Amino acid sequence: MRQSNKKPAPVVARQAGIVRREVAFTVLTPVLGGGVYVESDDSRRQIKPIDAVTPVRAAGVRGQLRFWWRAVHGARLPSIKAMREREALIWGAASSPGLVSISVDDRGLRTRELDVFQMVPNKMGTKYNGRVVGRGMEAIAYGAFPLKPADGKPVKLTPGRLTDLSGEAQLRWQISSSDADLIAEVADAVDAWLAFGGVGGRTRRGFGAVGATQPIDVRALNQRFCGLPGERLVGVPAFGRGPLKLGPREDDGIKALSYGLGRLRDFRQGTGEGMGRNPGLEDPRRPGRSRWPEAEAIRVKVRQGDPKYGRRQVGVDAFPRAQFGMPIIFHFQSFDDPRDQTLAPLDADRLASPLHLGCHSTSTGMGVHALVLSDGVQRDQASLSGITVQTKLTRNQANWFKSPLTGEPDVLQAFLNFYA
């Protein structure tokens, strides 16, 4: 995806207590979804089209800015109540408008659809299964699984597509206030979004990453946000609780997205050194046993398992990958193994991942990064289909033979060590 060489200064206008600003940005990586239309037909839920009229919706950007405002400034307020009151003042609430208005001029963007999956018949020609389209899309397919139709259907379902957005758009925001602190907080939220955020769906996994046409030093920005004074509210994802790791420079958005998703896929499921699975013994294309403890722990908890896995290779009854977010559905291939099991938080239906994979503009191309925004909540336990299980490891437990953690009990930190 080409980037503009122009580096216009942000436009700032002031009049009668109103401050207006404008910033140019590009969309660096392919976008997943982003439209307002939701299919009611289950066989078409995977299509997830982008909005044809407004590919970058102002409402979606506002939601992103709310999130990044909380991560930078909202989490530093003395209470959740105080955070919600200030958030409503700035960004609005259901009962009242906020001081900030947002508009996006995306007329300079051009759209191009990208295939990730294709449906192919089985050997008998009776059912269809999804396959990754060509080489170079395998890592992206790992993160774009919502676009894949259900396998094993007698009809050829339509896979969803990603959308590549080239060109330049303008974000315009104004705040009806001359309060310097409020103006600075909104400007910080915009900078955080331009450095670490995105548009569309699954932005935490790098889809739809945005970048300012005037590149932002993401390392310096992260250091500034982490150094802001004040205690962080427990329960609010925030800068200052987790690290930032920078990866290599990439030529384009496809390669940038592939790098981050590829490292996550390999850490969890790859078959190389320090990766998540053993190599396949009979077919190298089919990986062997998992080097993670969850599968063995499930067999112990439900007292059922394929006899060929009776000899344990990990020997730790814990679920460390819960730190990547929940729910997690564990699916076993063998008929002798347990049925599908769901790992979920004890006190909620889901837990968003604190790991943000992304891509950012640089003066020489695109850079990739992995950012952890922790909420400060200690979650040592989770629910496995109604059974309470442990998720936290000790350093000794994290050092099993060929462990992907290599002795690091913090799974997110272990991934950052593996990332670059």
Q: Read off the pLDDT of residues 386-412 as tens digits, 9 standing for 90 and up.
A: 999 999 999 999 999 999 999 999 999
Query: What pLDDT does residue 3 have?
Result: 43
Torsion 84-88-92-93 (CA) sign = positive
Q: In terms of pLDDT, which residue wins out, 36 or 102?
A: 102
Instruction: Concatenate the DSSP letters of all residues of 387-414 into one string.
Output: EEEE----TTGGG-TT-TTTT-S-HHHH
Query: What pLDDT does residue 8 have?
Result: 46
Structure tokens at 294: 């969850």
Q: Which residue has the tokens 């291939």?
A: 333
Of all residues in the chain, the percent with pLDDT exceeding 90 is 81
Please report how the helices 58-72 and 80-91 are oriented relative to each other, as an axis angle in degrees rounded to 10.
Answer: 140
Q: In terms of pLDDT, which residue wins out, 308 or 369?
A: 369
DSSP letter assigned to residue 344: E
Query: What pLDDT does residue 37 have?
Result: 80
CATH of 11-108+166-232, one of 3.90.550, 3.30.70, 2.60.40, 2.40.160: 3.30.70
37-86 pLDDT, tens digit per residue, is 878 888 899 999 999 889 999 999 999 999 999 999 999 999 999 999 99
Per-residue pLDDT at 299 exceeds 60: yes
Q: Quickly state the pLDDT bin for 2 (edges 50, 70, 90).
A: very low
Q: How far apart, in whole angstroms, are the C-alpha atoms of residue 121 and residue 123?
A: 7
Q: Quickly state the pLDDT bin for 233 (edges 50, 70, 90).
A: very high
Q: In terms of pLDDT, which residue wins out, 17 or 33?
A: 33
Which residues does 193 contact at the CB level (< 8 Å), separation at least 6? 61, 64, 65, 68, 210
334-348 pLDDT, tens digit per residue, is 899 999 999 999 988
- Region 94-111: mean pLDDT is 95
Q: Quickly state the pLDDT bin for 16 (edges 50, 70, 90).
A: low
Q: Facing residues of 292 across strands?
A: none
Query: What pLDDT does residue 229 have?
Result: 92
Per-residue pLDDT at 34 exceeds 60: yes
Q: Quickly state the pLDDT bin for 36 (edges 50, 70, 90).
A: confident
Over the range 355-388, which residues count as b (16 or more CB within 10 Å of their CB) and which as e? bbbbbbbbeeebbbbbbbbbbbeebebbbbbeee
Query: What pLDDT does residue 40 have?
Result: 84
Cis peptide before 327 (omega within 30 of 0): yes
Q: Structure pTM?
A: 0.92
- Residue-averaged pLDDT of the chain: 92
Domain map of the chain by residue range?
Answer: 11-108+166-232, 117-159, 261-419
